[in-house]
Amino acid sequence: MSILSIHDIQGISAFNNTVRIPSGHKLDVAENLKIPVHNNTNRPSGTQGNLGFNSDTNELEIYDGSQWASIGSGSKLDGSTQALAAPDAQFIWDNRPDQRSTMANAYKWILIPGESTARQVWCNFENNGGGGPGGDRHGWMMMYQNYTGPRAAGSVSIQGQSSGGQAQRQYTIMEGTTYYDNSLRPKKDGGQYICGKTHIWDIVKNQGNWDLMKAYNMYDSNGNVVSWDQSSTDSGNMSPWNQGAYCQSRPTRQVYDILSCRNVTFNDIFGSAINAGDDNLANYVNLYLDSGGHGGNFDWGETNELTISGNSNRGFSNNSNNESTPRMYGWAARHWISYSSNTTGRDAHRCQYVCWGSQNNILEISYYCRRNYQHGT
């Protein structure tokens, strides 16, 4: 055995300055091996198989031929293919910090733990947990989408599980067996009005570890998102915060509310019909409204009681329907779950938050879910 003591090994230009270990031979490093270090901004272009350490994420990365990918655990599960299906959208955000700056809303392959089939669903990465206890946590999966307003009664052709091109009854969609996994997304992102649900709704609705995001987009006669505020006329409902308007649509950002469900299931909250189930919840749920400047950051209070009014209304106990203490603050909570849901067309989601007149608009309502962040009582 010989010992070669050197400082630098250099290839020759005729072979692209490459030092090669021929097939059938190996390099045995007995102690320390240092690999190149880069960060998110100065990664080399790389060739397939290159290794490097990312000093921004403190992760070992490999170049797969098209991009740098983290090595180890489940970080490679980014939902880009069926084989790389992620357990949920939040997992993609949490485990791919190297891609967050460019991570856009998109269809992703999702394989919920316990399921045997991966499904491609629309995932939202632009909205975080608001100013509440959610903090900066992204990754929401589309479950349900429907429409309401004057233009939902035939002025536009709604695709998917519509009622003859009009907005469908809320519970007809929720309790149906038709799914639109890889086609359901907001009109502003997909170019068409489409209502329906994904398999995600039925998979998670009886699990108690998910939060709910309710997103709103108001479109005019040209199909453009418009800016809209809906002021409350119910005196006293806003006290003591005196929030003067409910924000419902913005062309510059997604408007959304967040319901922190703790360990209460979606099925307990929504029921199988507007008047189904018990009005007592197993735990307190907390509603965070869109404040007008940011989604899901205006604390609207908590309750463990539903307010159910026959076949017309399903919401949360509030200052107008005082059925519990503590309770939520007012009108926005009263119809947040469902109102006039046995109706198609204009009033399919009435009073959320508009009690429609003759406005020449259509309101899109989308439900997303994400692993919850606020457990216990």
Tell me the pLDDT tens digit for each residue of 82-114: 988 999 999 998 887 777 778 889 999 999 999
Is-above-0.85 flag for pTM? no
**Residue 310, both tokens:** 């026959």
Residue with tokens 């399903």: 314
Confidence category of residue 1, pLDDT binned at 50, 70, 90: low
Query: Closest by alpha carbon to 287, among 307, 311, 315?
Result: 315
pLDDT tens digits for 243-282? Answer: 445 678 899 888 999 999 988 999 999 999 998 888 899 9
* Residue 344, amino acid: T
Cα–Cα distance, 362 to 129 (Å, whole number): 26
H or E element: which one contains 369? strand 362-371
Tell whether omega for the bond before 353 is within 30 degrees of 0, i.e. cis.
Answer: yes
Is the pLDDT at 163 greater than 80, yes or no? yes
Which tops the pLDDT comparison, 56 or 164? 164
Is the pLDDT at 322 greater than 80, yes or no? no
Q: How buried is 65 (Cβ within 10 angstroms: 0-12 exposed, 13-18 middle, 19+ buried)?
A: exposed
pLDDT of residue 37: 93
Beta bridge partners of 368: 142, 213
Is the pLDDT at 189 greater than 90, yes or no? yes
Which tops the pLDDT comparison, 297 or 273? 273
The CA-atom distances, in angstroms, between 137 and each of 58, 149, 251, 345 are 20, 32, 23, 35
pLDDT of residue 245: 59
Cα–Cα distance, 369 to 354 (Å, whole number): 24
Residue with tokens 């209460």: 264
**Residue 277, both tokens:** 């189930």
Give the phi and the psi of residue 175 in degrees, each rounded to 5.
Answer: -100, 5
Give the phi and the psi of residue 299 in degrees, each rounded to 5.
Answer: -70, 110
pLDDT of residue 77: 85
